[in-house]
Structure 1
Amino acid sequence: SWGKKKRTVCMKMEIARATRWMQTMTFAIKEINQRSDLLPQLKLGFHIRKSLQGDEASGVSMALTGLLFYQVSYFASCSCLSDQKEFPTFMRTMPSDAFQISALARLVSYFGWTWVGVIGVESDYAHFAIQHFLQELVQYGVCPAYIHFYPVVLSQQALDELLDVIQVSSSKVIINFSGESELQSILREIRHRNVSGLQWIASEAWATAKSLWEEFGDLLKGTLGFGIRRAEVIPGLKEYLTRLRLSDIYESPFLTEFWEETFNCRLNGSLNVHSHGVSYQDRMPCTGKEDLDDIYSAYSDVSQLRVSYNVYKAVYLVAHALQDMSNCLTGHGPLQNGICGNPKNFKPWQLLHYMKHAKFSILGEKVNFDENGDPIAYYDLMNWQKGHDGSLHLVKVGFYDASLSAGHHLVINDSPAHSVCSESCSPGTRIARRRGEPVCCFDCVTCGEGEVSNETDSLECLRCSEDTWPNEARHLCIPKTIEFLSYHESLGIVLCTVCVLGACISLSILAIFFTHRDTPLVRANNMELSFLLLLFLALCFLIGLFFIGEPSDWLCRIRYPAFGVSFALCISCILSKTVVVLMAFRATLPGSNIMRWFGPNQRTLCHLSTPQVIICLIWLLISPPYTNHNTGYNAIIIVECAIGSEFGFWCVLGYIGVLACMCFLMAFLARKLPDNFNEAKFITFSMLIFFAVWITFIPVYVSTAGKYTVAVHIFAIVASAFGLLFCIFAPKCYIIILKPEKNCKKNMMHK
């Protein structure tokens, strides 16, 4: 029948694997015997016996240890065997299941599975493992959806009970503690019931069982499990295994059985008493031309050297223990009273003591044991993936190393492609769990402003430093762009041109006035103050250049005081002109002595501008302006002049405002003086423009940022300076240049 044929195939595979393990042991023994640096005075031998149950199983190890057999197991993993009081004669190169259980619990927690099914075969191995697993789950907040044990021999009733439990539950993640043979019946029934979408988590016993793939690959795709440490290669083992020839077979009934089952032939004088599948008498005689290189066999498959590696380490453990015993100095030995064991005549318990304290390196791995005789655990996290040709690819996607610091035992290199229902999130995005759905289903959300992720399936995005910003893909932080109002950009060039043009116009008007200084128009408008006003206006235009270019501390400390003092001087000149004219007319009234309160023009100017100079000096001494790299903007760092003291800055502007108000008031009072003589109406209009510019400046200045704040400041300086220049001097230049006939004393005195 089909079932019988399948069991025959499985039995042949088991025989092939067991023979490989046996041959690995003989290979290691022969390798050690040929070495001159390890046991040079001793030769190791072996005697092989067969158990009906297979001595690699935990149950058999427990039974043998109970009979006080000393043993080093290469496959028994039950955590119960770590109890040295109950099993004092036991050692192993296979890690205890206690480590595997911790690894599985961390794995479940890593993927956020909080509702999982737990099943296992009725055995000490599964009972101890599941009991420990449930204890581990508590600390991660994971709850078992169900716990179900099934018999080793699965009847239809047992299968129905198990499948009913699986189908009723909402959990799609199943952790199974069994061997591969029990799992086959379960998977067959799952296919029969058309159950899909299950995520299998394999215990170590079947995490690398390739034999399951051919029939159940569609059900097991995406399976995760921890396999014991794999040796990439054991030098010389492949050649040793395939060198086996017919002449070597008669030495052992185990090799005879393997040979006959592998090539389906019969040997003359065979010691094999077992036959699987075809009747022994129906087989053709072996020809002697059979070659292991011509067929595939689990015996010669060294792609997954895991249990074989444990066998190899077990032999070397015995050898190193004997070597330590040989090197022991009497009186300094590890046994009671400093006694050393005799490597040629020792008690089994003495060798066991040396083995538990052995430390050695093999194939690049450091081997040592804890106080229970268990090796320090290391597991490969394997993911079952389908290759292009449909074959099984056991891909290592992480590992569990018990020697690492607490909390860092589990390392996952990459999320397995088939273990979640959503595609991986690329760098620049993060995983966002879907509410109400299994945690293995998620959306990929683009990292927020100022955040990046440079790994696939990142759980969170990392914020860039203050001076960096994400690139367009948001997987890398790049330096922010430095921004300031530069002479090399169009806005800076335009403002610079306007500033220079304003200064040139002011100096040109000054030249015109100086050339016509003897004319009545120039003399009638307070020539000295007019010259000073034109110089200060030219200075105001040039002050705008201090606001262009990359700021520095000294430049910041010059620009604001220079701006404040230059405008204070301009407004003071205009105020002085207005006051002098107004007082001059008032002084002509009978009995008026008002002119004695006003001295020369220079003194008035000095009195009016001195407070602004004092304000600027106090500002510079207490909290001066400084260069600031403002990183509070996206993608740019604004290099700006921080004003230092807000109070000082607004005091400077405030004092200019006070002078402007006084000037406007004086011009208003002088409105009824003779039109041809005074310039009150021009000053009044210029002050209105001045107020309009600076009142508009305040809200715009506060609401803009970066280089545009500087541009607004320069614009306010230039606009107000042009307002003063054109309102006050344009009418006079018109008369001087275009209407020289009006530039006479008669016209000036005409009412």
Structure 2
Amino acid sequence: MTHPFQVPHKNIQRGDLIIGLITSQFNCIFDEIYFHEYPKMKFFGELIVMPKNYQHALSFLFAVKEINQNPTILPNTSLGFHIYDSYFNSRTTFQNTLNLLSSWERIVPNFKCDKQKNMMTVIGGLDSEISLQMATVLDLYKIPQIAYCVFSPVMSVETQLPSFYRIMPREEFQYVGFVQLLLQFQWTWVGIITGEDDEGEKFLRILNQMFSQYRICTALIAKIPNLSYNLDLLGFLRHTKIASISLTTSKVKVFVLNANLQTVACLKWLIYIYTMLEDITQTSMGKVWIMTAHWDFSSQTFHRDFDIHIFHGALSFAVPSNEVLGFTKFLQSLNPKLPKGDGFIRDFWEQAFNCLFSYSNEDMGSIYTCTGHEKLDSLPGTLFEMGMTGQSYSVYSAVHVIAHTLHKMYTSRPKHRGIVEGGRQEPPSLQPWQLHFFLRSISFNNTAGNTVYFDENGELTTGYDIVNWITFSNQSFSRVKVGRMDPQALPGSEVIVDKEAITWHRMFNQVLPLALCNDYCSPGNSKKRKEGEPFCCYDCVPCPDGKISDQKDMNDCFKCPEDQYPDKNQDQCIPKIVNFLSFSETLGITIVCLALFLSLITALVLGTFIRNQNTPIVKANNRELSYSLLISLLLCFLCSLLFIGWPQTMTCCLRQTAFGIIFSVAVSCIMAKTITVILAFMATKPGTRMKKWVGKRLASSLILGCSLIQASICAMWLCIAPPFPDVDMHSLAEEIIVGCNEGSVTMFYCVLGYLGLLAAVSFTVAFLARKLPGSFNEAKFITFSMLLFCSVWLSFVPSYLSTKGKYMVAVEIFSILVSSAGLLGFNFFSKCYIIILRPGLNSKDQLIRRA
């Protein structure tokens, strides 16, 4: 009669040294324990099988077979094994862990007899909860446990479970990988799906903290309860209603999934129920799934017809693995009728192929009879794969770690051993606790060519591969390695992804999916946070005047460099045009030609006066003052050329000072001519004393005195704050004004003010003398010339202040040329007309007669 604690699913092989394995292949409901009878194991309902998980046990068997056939690893020592299942149940996990530690026939804790098996180490379990339940027992006996779970138990492994090792990379590498992967694709609006257990809470807590640190928003959190088979369907639907609605109808396109078996199984139920209720296809629910290394597309048998296309294009982390030679051939040799002692294969075969053996007493409603010759490679990949999966590869590596550790222990011990029956050497007497020292320092290359060794935390030091999962219409799939998570890389560059190699879900038409709370803000706009919304949600507002944003989704607009300005779309900076009055541009050429032409006219007038200096009309109009006025006007026309061209220090200093002094001389000459005319008429009256004032001395004194005052003002200007070349970046938005800074604006207006004072005096005096006899009187012409002069310079001030850049310079040049031309024309046109065209009027008789 079978002992009450014996379990139906186990596989045992005797050997000199025993390795234990706890797998997780079956899920079922157990009866309640009542203390009025001896505890026993009894299944209720249907036994649910995870067919793909059977490969974990098969990879274990294959590794043990390899080692036993390899004379260089453990010569003269055979490895045996005991394999049990956890049934995803705490009670059976504890029970089968004790089965591993007890005698061959029954559980007798803490008691050894002659038949006690030499259990050296145990491999398992598949998830952190099972691993923790095993570790609480194994750690008491200091038996090394090598787990192949992705996430370590919640408690501190290195301090509270010193006998615990993991044949997996460190857990935090995946968290870093999630963050770096999301940042590379600029996904900031993502959902998190995890189980409603301690492992799920830890996953959620750490991931939320890292997302917040790197400004990634958690748009949705779906906590999925572990699928319990003693939970009634209505209760399950009620418990998962909110998660189902939020998961399937949400606009969130990217989900990070803690893809352990229980969570994935429940997730499939949620998707199946929603699609049934809403009458839509699963394929139409396009999502991007980013999953932990648990994921291997494993399905329970009742998910046989589940549409796997919803996971098309998913990304997952995976333990780096290579093809193991001979494993596929090993799988092809399996036959459920050949193995003796394998308690797993019968139930696996029936559920995987949906058939029944003829000696089976179960009723699965199947019309097929298992022949034992069914082909494993005919099964869909969701149920079984012929290539070694990542988790199976971890089990395979764990067996080799144990074998090499035992080999290292053998080589470090004395080689004097006794002879047992059959001529073999007696295996050394080893204790499990002795393995720890060698496990922590083990390092070797396995048969797949990978280097295996543990770090100080008892974990592998490798990183993770990033795998893209591609599904096909026949329910098959393939893995495509598209990247790598390297923990040894520089911070921020741990994840390397070939984006071009990724195949996305068909809903995205091979366009990179967007995972944002709202669309990107285009260049020319900046983000403005929405009140009451997460920081990933924002409005897009145009940049203010004078600022740009040249990238998508910029937090703030910024000003262009001083030598650049924003374009009309405010998304790029354009170099400013240099603004100065150049000799090569049309305006500059025009002004130069006009100045030279007026200078030539002035020179011709001066030449005419010099050639006709002895004629009455030249003498009558004060010949010396006329020469001085013409020379000053000639210089006025020429000084306008100083305002054209690239500003230099010398030209900046000469521009306004030369203009001020020369114009002061010209206006002084006019004022002297007017005063001379008045004095001449006053001197003709009988008994007057004004004759002594008539002459060259008064005129020269007026010109010299008035000019010296202006020269003194200019000299003071040059001493206090002289003009200098300057660049104005700000007055014009699109141009850089290169010009002369006046240094002291006050002194500049003092020069203009004094010039205006002279002009006003000259105009007043000429206006008062306008009615004197015309033949000897220039006052009328001087009045008109000064009226024009004053009008030009009064209009100059507002025009000058209202313009910028080269047009400001052009306004001043225009004022110089027009006012100088007015003085030239009004004062000398009529005289030149008589001298050149009416020489008959240029006689003393004619002048006396006209007078």
Scaled by the length of structure 2, the TM-score of the pair is 0.65
- The partner residue of 1:679 within 765, 772, 778 is 778
- Partners in 1 of 2:774 and 2:74 — Cα distance? 130
- The partner residue of 1:503 within 576, 594, 599 is 599
- Partners in 2 of 1:20 and 1:456 — Cα distance? 52
Residue 351 of structure 1: aligned partner? 438
Residue 507 of structure 2: aligned partner? none
- The partner residue of 2:768 within 656, 669, 673 is 669
Note the C-alpha offset of 1:731. 2.0
My pick for the range that moved more, 365-374 or 714-723, is 365-374
SS of equivalent residue, structure 1 residue 85: helix
Provide Cα deviations, 1:333-375, integer angstroms capped at 9, x if missing partner. Answer: xxxxxxxxxx9999323235447xx999xx9999998864567
Q: Check the 8 A contact 2:679/2:694 in 1, yes or no.
A: no
Provide Cα deviations, 1:269-289, integer angstroms capped at 9, x if missing partner. Answer: xxxxx99998995246269xx
Name the aligned partner's letter for residue 613 of structure 1.
A
Note the C-alpha offset of 1:184. 0.6
- Partners in 1 of 2:636 and 2:474 — Cα distance? 82
Over 3 Å counting, the alpha-carbon distance change for 1:294 and 1:124 in structure 2 is closer
Q: Check the 8 A contact 2:672/2:699 in 1, yes or no.
A: yes
Name the aligned partner's letter for residue 85 of structure 1.
T
Q: Which of the two has greater helix per residue?
A: 1
Over 3 Å counting, the alpha-carbon distance change for 1:259 and 1:214 in structure 2 is closer
Note the C-alpha offset of 1:691. 1.9
Residue 592 of structure 1: aligned partner? 690
Name the aligned partner's letter for residue 673 of structure 2.
K
Over 3 Å counting, the alpha-carbon distance change for 1:121 and 1:397 in structure 2 is same
Over 3 Å counting, the alpha-carbon distance change for 1:686 and 1:57 in structure 2 is same
1:192 aligns with 2:276: yes
Over 3 Å counting, the alpha-carbon distance change for 1:206 and 1:314 in structure 2 is closer
Note the C-alpha offset of 1:135. 6.5
SS of equivalent residue, structure 1 residue 80: coil
Note the C-alpha offset of 1:650. 1.8
- Partners in 2 of 1:654 and 1:48 — Cα distance? 112
Note the C-alpha offset of 1:185. 0.8
Q: Check the 8 A contact 1:74/1:311 in 2, yes or no.
A: yes
Q: Check the 8 A contact 1:28/1:316 in 2, yes or no.
A: no
Residue 85 of structure 2: aligned partner? 52
- The partner residue of 2:627 within 531, 541, 544 is 531
Map 1:487-498 to 2 at 5 A: 487-498=583-594
Map 1:207-286 to 2 at 5 A: 227-228=316-317, 237=323, 246=332, 282-283=370-371, 285=373
Provide Cα deviations, 1:170-220, integer angstroms capped at 9, x if missing partner. Answer: 986576545322211122223234499997875625678598999567867
Provide Cα deviations, 1:669-711, integer angstroms capped at 9, x if missing partner. Answer: 3223222212112222222222222222222222222222222
Over 3 Å counting, the alpha-carbon distance change for 1:566 and 1:345 in structure 2 is farther
Residue 180 of structure 1: aligned partner? 264
Name the aligned partner's letter for residue 85 of structure 2.
L
- Partners in 1 of 2:75 and 2:655 — Cα distance? 93
Unmatched 5+ stretches in structure 2:
1-27, 29-45, 87-123, 413-429, 500-510
Q: Check the 8 A contact 2:67/2:73 in 1, yes or no.
A: no
Residue 24 of structure 2: aligned partner? none
Over 3 Å counting, the alpha-carbon distance change for 1:442 and 1:564 in structure 2 is same
Map 1:386-397 to 2 at 5 A: none
Note the C-alpha offset of 1:45. 11
Q: Check the 8 A contact 2:313/2:468 in 1, yes or no.
A: yes
- The partner residue of 1:582 within 658, 678, 685 is 678
Q: Whose radius of gyration is greater, 1 or 2? A: 2
- Partners in 2 of 1:44 and 1:693 — Cα distance? 118
Residue 16 of structure 2: aligned partner? none
1:545 aligns with 2:641: yes
What root-mean-square deviation, in Å, do the aligned CA atoms of Structure 1 and Structure 2 show?
Answer: 6.0
Name the aligned partner's letter for residue 276 of structure 2.
H
Map 1:98-247 to 2 at 5 A: 120-132=194-206, 148=223, 150-153=225-228, 155-164=233-242, 167=245, 177=258, 179-194=263-278, 204=292, 227-228=316-317, 237=323, 246=332
SS of equivalent residue, structure 2 residue 162: coil
SS of equivalent residue, structure 1 residue 92: strand
Residue 752 of structure 2: aligned partner? 653
- Partners in 2 of 1:412 and 1:446 — Cα distance? 34
Over 3 Å counting, the alpha-carbon distance change for 1:180 and 1:484 in structure 2 is same
- Partners in 2 of 1:404 and 1:129 — Cα distance? 23
Note the C-alpha offset of 1:629. 2.7
Q: Check the 8 A contact 1:581/1:678 in 2, yes or no.
A: yes
SS of equivalent residue, structure 1 residue 628: strand
Q: Check the 8 A contact 1:117/1:146 in 2, yes or no.
A: yes
Over 3 Å counting, the alpha-carbon distance change for 1:390 and 1:258 in structure 2 is closer
Residue 80 of structure 1: aligned partner? 154
SS of equivalent residue, structure 2 residue 840: helix
- Partners in 2 of 1:528 and 1:720 — Cα distance? 22
- Partners in 2 of 1:320 and 1:614 — Cα distance? 104
Provide Cα deviations, 1:108-161, integer angstroms capped at 9, x if missing partner. Answer: 998666xx9866434331133345556678887979987755232373422232
- Partners in 1 of 2:795 and 2:692 — Cα distance? 38
- Partners in 2 of 1:56 and 1:373 — Cα distance? 17
Residue 339 of structure 1: aligned partner? none
My pick for the range that moved more, 42-51 or 638-647, is 42-51
Residue 800 of structure 2: aligned partner? 701
Name the aligned partner's letter for residue 60 of structure 1.
I
Q: Check the 8 A contact 1:499/1:545 in 2, yes or no.
A: yes
Note the C-alpha offset of 1:78. 3.7
1:623 aligns with 2:721: yes
Q: Check the 8 A contact 1:426/1:455 in 2, yes or no.
A: yes
Unmatched 5+ stretches in structure 1:
269-273, 329-342
Percent of pairs with identical residues: 32
Name the aligned partner's letter for residue 719 of structure 2.
L
Name the aligned partner's letter for residue 650 of structure 1.
Y
When the two structures are aligned, how many residues end up with a matched partner?
708
- Partners in 1 of 2:172 and 2:694 — Cα distance? 107
Residue 705 of structure 2: aligned partner? 607
- Partners in 2 of 1:476 and 1:299 — Cα distance? 55
- Partners in 1 of 2:592 and 2:748 — Cα distance? 24
- Partners in 2 of 1:365 and 1:705 — Cα distance? 75
Note the C-alpha offset of 1:523. 1.4
1:564 aligns with 2:660: yes
SS of equivalent residue, structure 2 residue 814: helix
- Partners in 2 of 1:27 and 1:458 — Cα distance? 61
My pick for the range that moved more, 690-699 or 579-588, is 579-588
My pick for the range that moved more, 72-81 or 169-178, is 169-178
- Partners in 2 of 1:510 and 1:493 — Cα distance? 25
Map 1:13-92 to 2 at 5 A: 13-15=52-54, 18=56, 50-53=83-86, 55-66=125-136, 67-68=138-139, 69-78=143-152, 80-92=154-166
My pick for the range that moved more, 650-659 or 119-128, is 119-128
